[in-house]
Amino acid sequence: MATDASGEPAETADAYAELVERFERINGVQGAAGVLGWDQQVMMPEGGTPARSKQLSVLSSLSHELLTDDRTAELLDEVESLDLDEGQTAQLREMRREFERADAVPTELVEEISETSTEALGAWEQARAEDDFDQFAPYLETLVELKREYAEHIDPDRDAYEVLFEDYEPCLSLERAEEILETLKQTLVPMIDEIRTSDADVTTDAFDGAFPEDAQEDLSRDVLSTLGYDWDRGRLDPSTHPFTSGNVYDCRVTTRYDESDPLGGLMATVHEFGHAFYNLGLPEEQFGTPLGESRDLSVHESQSRLWENHVGRSPAFWELVTPKFAERFDTDATAREAYESANQVYEDNLIRVEADELTYHLHIVIRFEIERALISGELDVEDVPEVWNDKYEEYLGIRPETDANGCLQDIHWSHGNFGYFPTYSLGSVMASQLFNAAEDDIGNIYGTVRDGDFEALQTWLRENVHEHGSRYETNDLVREATGEDFTADYFVDYVTTKYGDLYDLEESV
Amino acid sequence: MATDASGEPAETADAYAELVERFERINGVQGAAGVLGWDQQVMMPEGGTPARSKQLSVLSSLSHELLTDDRTAELLDEVESLDLDEGQTAQLREMRREFERADAVPTELVEEISETSTEALGAWEQARAEDDFDQFAPYLETLVELKREYAEHIDPDRDAYEVLFEDYEPCLSLERAEEILETLKQTLVPMIDEIRTSDADVTTDAFDGAFPEDAQEDLSRDVLSTLGYDWDRGRLDPSTHPFTSGNVYDCRVTTRYDESDPLGGLMATVHEFGHAFYNLGLPEEQFGTPLGESRDLSVHESQSRLWENHVGRSPAFWELVTPKFAERFDTDATAREAYESANQVYEDNLIRVEADELTYHLHIVIRFEIERALISGELDVEDVPEVWNDKYEEYLGIRPETDANGCLQDIHWSHGNFGYFPTYSLGSVMASQLFNAAEDDIGNIYGTVRDGDFEALQTWLRENVHEHGSRYETNDLVREATGEDFTADYFVDYVTTKYGDLYDLEESV
């Protein structure tokens, strides 16, 4: 056996290198699938679906096969017995997790879930269009059963929902997630109730009028440039649902334009910027390996929400942006009026994606409670509409009159994505904690935001979040960045202060 | 062993199905790479190259591995011994050919060629920019040697150039290709010589002026719609080099816009339409299998040239299109003037891609003769510039003053693509033969072209070329469509009549 200078077997390094190369291959296939997905939503002509579906399904099964191949298992075992440095250890942890999850679930079950989801999607679309939950119910029931089975393959001894949650948030405990969601509920239910009866004079009409699409696109480009988007590594296109796609070299954002709602599109642009700015800050030297990937969904959402809420919905941002509106549109709203309109609480809104920064989280809490009860078996599918409506009445003081505006509004369950919703709220909460720490370190961020200077904030996020890739698990990442465990405290402070001021609320909230 | 109702082993059908599925997988990977390639040229931000190169290289090696896997060989052998119908036999012929070529060449050699090409491309770019052939010569020499080696792996007993030619045109004999190119030379050298001294008064300035890019794009879209492009399965974008990419469900074209040259862009659009219209007419039921693919490069080029030359450069087309020019641009050229300008012979032009329909083929003949002599060893790389210049003087009556405008002008040799150039001319020749047969069957195609009615021609091409996919080998396809073997006769008739009329040439040419 050959040895290197240190006397260690040369195959040590070889096995690690082979393992990394294998994961780089998998990443290459998944990256290709990512480009195909972007193209499908942004560029592909309608007729292209049959070919695209086939291409994506081939890439998905190839990547699964490469990941679950016997050779992957052998190499993981071999490398595990070696003396690894800290980065290699983290690399191996991420590889092992990916492998084990993929390996635990039989391919047939994955395919069954995928096929059922395709059927469920069609049924959901029709059920929503016809406001008829019964059409969707049998598919939802099957998906709940299949997902329970899926969780059982991964770990038969643990709570199935906990296992499913880890698909989206593998290294944050469900217990902490639950605590945080419970805090949100305890804080926001009374706060929104008080806002409902507040007689504060909040401007709500700064964005009334007509806002041509071309000028909105131009504004979005201007704002992206101002925030620091690297156009050499990105692009902006319109799509029905805004999203971000790509890697450290090429990360693209999409947004939407509604001529009667310039705020929605602009906030979507700022939100997607946050996602893209994260990916564009990942460590290049780890590109293509698990360590070079972003941390999971809550952290990703923390980046989009930080830019959307803490930057994009701040008074300083509206001082910066109001002149940009005046240049392009027929509007004379002041920065303060724009700020108030951008932060008004829609206390009668039933639709999650149209919700404001406060009520949003109750939409999430309701979904979380319902899907948790569905997976545990405490709640039957047939009872979902009634429970949904009761919870809306209890938490938000409004009751949906149709299921289309109630439990049929979101696409996620038709994909079988149970455990996904919480990451939206967790991301907002994490954004508050990170922003607070950045402000402690930098001081007076809003002073520079007002001037369109984002450099200090960019650098802080690069150094404290992006450059770490997947080196730290979620809570460790938060602790490294902020000095504290992941907590809802800063979010509670943030909304209490902000909305206390806007709506003249009692201090005690 | 299980048997089906006919008493045949059930595994018969199984082996064939498994083989088809395997090739569908390969096609899925290659299709994905096609989308990535399109995106790279049309959409990708500049910085995306490192990630894209990695993705493409992973897809390329996966597709190679799937193709040359032992299981592919086993299945091919197994299926070969079965009783196959005509379609299955053709399917197997195509699969076998693909497999054998890929299997014959060692992966290391393929990679060495690929790496050398990457370096050669850089060297070629610099050599061309600095007009210094010596910088490119060593790379060209290495590529010639590597490609000889490549050919020897495939068949050590045959002429290496013949083997290389089959990479692009696997089922047309080089002998026939040579005869056709020789005929072109014999016909065109004297014809162009006579045109040079012709005192015919051909309009050359119908496209002088300024033609805004937006209006050119609008014109291209209008013409694509008129020709019958299916926008539900395609799209048009600008790119530096026009190209077509896609399959029967989604086939996209690109074109270029030069504000001082509206003709170049429009002809590129019509040319690419021909390529796309072919792919969009392939048999859907064979999608993803070799039989569902287009026949090789000459046939593909026949489709683009048929639309570009026989439709797009006809008097009837200019009667249709001249009003479209007048609507969009500040021009009052008549249809006849536009037709003449679109068909003027540039007898002093040194650049292949700027050549007219006649001189074009002498550019090809020169490259063909030189690359054939390079591969056989009759010509040394160092002598290429002089031989090149001598041939330009002999065939076209002009002598390049620089290598940048001479033997360094084309990218192909830096890719190691020896054997590719002839397919351009073969395509034009085939286009003439096919168009002649279509006219015989339909009668008076130009009468309908004038009215913007292309239905009869579309249907003829669908039924006689596109729908066959790869069922017939090249010459058989031509014979099925026209009743005759592939011949240059119709091309010679076509140019003799057309340019005899334009330039008042003697009948005897």
- Say which of A43, A52, A249 has its CB closest to residue B43: A43
For residue A55, which residues of chain B lie inside 8 Å, CB to CB?
Answer: 28-29, 31-32, 35
Q: Which of A54, A56, A221 to mutate to test the interface with B (most CBs of B within 10 A)?
A: A54
* pLDDT computed for residue A11 by the predictor: 57
For residue B231, which residues of chain A lie inside 8 Å, CB to CB?
Answer: 45
* pLDDT computed for residue A138 by the predictor: 97
* pLDDT computed for residue A506 by the predictor: 79
Of all residues in chain B, the one with the smallest CA distance to A61 is B25
Tell me whether residue B272 is one of the annotated catalytic residues: yes
- Say which of B47, B59, B249 has its CB closest to residue A233: B47
* pLDDT computed for residue A259 by the predictor: 97
* pLDDT computed for residue B5 by the predictor: 45
pLDDT in tens, B61-90: 999 999 999 999 999 999 999 999 999 999
* Mean local confidence (pLDDT), A122-130: 95
Q: Crossing angle of helices B133-154/B160-168, nearest 10°?
A: 90
As for the ipTM of the complex, it is 0.94
Give me A284's structure tokens. 């290049």
Please indicate if any CB of chain A lies within 8 Å of the CB of B20.
no
What is the helix (H) or strand (E) element at residue B254, kind and residue range?
strand B251-255
Are A44 and B231 inside 8 Å of each other by CB?
Answer: no
- Say which of B25, B46, B248 has its CB closest to residue A232: B46
Q: Is the pLDDT of residue B3 over 50?
A: no
Of all residues in chain A, the one with the smallest CA distance to B231 is A45
């949650």: which residue's tokens? A165
In this structure, are residues B248 and A61 in contact, taking their beta carbons and an 8 Å threshold?
A: no
One of A272, A293, A308, A340 is an active-site residue; which one? A272
Q: Whole-angstrom Cα distance, residue A169 to residue A478?
A: 14
Q: Is the pLDDT of residue B479 over 60?
A: yes
Q: Is the pLDDT of residue B12 over 90?
A: no
For residue B44, which residues of chain A lie inside 8 Å, CB to CB?
Answer: 250
Are B55 and A28 inside 8 Å of each other by CB?
Answer: yes
Q: How confident is the model at residue B506 (pLDDT cuts 50, 70, 90)?
A: confident
CA-based end-to-end distance of chain B: 70
Q: Is the pLDDT of residue B141 over 70?
A: yes
* Mean pLDDT of chain B, nearest integer: 95
For residue A28, which residues of chain B lie inside 8 Å, CB to CB?
Answer: 54-55, 57-59
Give me B288's structure tokens. 């993803």
Chain A nearest-CA distance from B39, in A, is 8
Q: Whole-angstrom Cα distance, residue A111 to residue A129?
A: 27
Q: Residue B236 pairs with which residues in a beta bridge?
A: B253
* Mean local confidence (pLDDT), A374-390: 98
Q: How confident is the model at residue B347 (pLDDT cuts 50, 70, 90)?
A: confident
* pLDDT computed for residue A369 by the predictor: 98
Q: Whole-angstrom Cα distance, residue A482 to residue B431?
A: 70
* pLDDT computed for residue B23 by the predictor: 98
* B321 three-class SS: helix
Q: Whole-angstrom Cα distance, residue A264 to residue A28?
A: 34
Q: Where are the beta strands (DSSP E) in B174-304?
A: 236-238, 244-246, 251-255
- DSSP structure string for B461-472: HHHHTGGGTTSS
pLDDT in tens, A326-368: 999 999 999 999 999 999 999 899 999 999 999 999 999 999 9
Q: How many CB atoms lie within 10 A of CB B249?
A: 25
Q: Is the pLDDT of residue B209 over 60?
A: yes
Give me A113's structure tokens. 């879930």
For residue B52, which residues of chain A lie inside 8 Å, CB to CB?
Answer: 249-250
Chain B nearest-CA distance from A62, in A, is 9
* Mean local confidence (pLDDT), A493-503: 97
Are A59 and B24 inside 8 Å of each other by CB?
Answer: no
The CA–CA distances, whole Å, from A273 to A251, A270, A279, B95 equal 10, 5, 10, 47
Q: Is the pLDDT of residue B9 over 80?
A: no
pLDDT in tens, B397-447: 999 999 999 999 999 999 999 999 999 999 999 999 999 999 999 999 999
pLDDT in tens, B349-386: 999 999 999 999 999 999 999 999 999 999 999 999 99
pLDDT in tens, B262-279: 999 999 999 999 999 999
* Mean local confidence (pLDDT), B175-187: 97
């989009």: which residue's tokens? A304
Percent of chain A whose predicted confidence (pLDDT) is above 90 = 95
